[in-house]
Amino acid sequence: MSIIKSKIRTIPDYPKPGILFRDITSLLLDPEGLSLSIGMFVNRYQNQGITKVAGIEARGFIFGAALAFQLGVGFVPIRKKGKLPGETISQEYILEYGTDHIEIHKDAVHPGDKFLILDDLIATGGTLAAAIQLIQKLNGKVHEAGVIVDLPDLGGSAKIKKDLGVEVYSICQFEGH
């Protein structure tokens, strides 16, 4: 969506040389941009029988919590290793150098739950794939994953569809890395 896309600023060479960082804080700061983006998710996911929204730390919390509120369902945080106080399960995922883990509370997923997972951006798809696997391991159904930005040239959304059978919906796309 071009209005939303135009409100996302690009910061070159952050966090390191060669990366074009797609910064959604400029979208959050803009009242029209914020409301349009949450509104697009609400329109797409209302009346779909979603029972919970999960958001990936940290920027997925912002959009995920707002959407859960609008849909009238609960919100589940998916967090970096060691941050959740209750009993968790963990999923490893690959970073550029090495690996990391994300976690979810075991009691956050109930049989028959239909989840929507939100994050700000999908690049290689490693983080989102790990989040989907966490919910699937606990026997939750993942209806779809939603992001503000896809970087389709990195192939993450296509890989998730192929490997995990989950569609990734993106509001806008940026070419390149």
Q: Which of the residues are catalytic? A: 59, 96
Quick one: tokens of 14? 């952050």
**Residue 70 backbone phi and psi in degrees, to 5:** -70, -30
Distance CA 27, CA 32 (A): 8
Asked if residues 87 and 159 have their Cβ atoms less than 8 Å apart, the reply is: no
- Closest CB 10 distance from ligand AMP, rounded Å: 8
Distance CA 98, CA 14 (A): 20
C-beta closer to ligand AMP: residue 34 or 128: 128
CA distance to 60, 119, 120, 164, per residue, from 107 (Å): 20, 21, 25, 23
**Could you list the residues that contact ligand AMP (CB under 6 A)?**
19-22, 59, 119-128, 156
Distance CA 121, CA 136 (A): 21
C-beta closer to ligand AMP: residue 86 or 95: 95
- Closest CB 72 distance from ligand AMP, rounded Å: 26
- Closest CB 110 distance from ligand AMP, rounded Å: 26
Quick one: tokens of 82? 């060691």
- Closest CB 57 distance from ligand AMP, rounded Å: 8
C-beta closer to ligand AMP: residue 33 or 156: 156
C-beta closer to ligand AMP: residue 71 or 123: 123
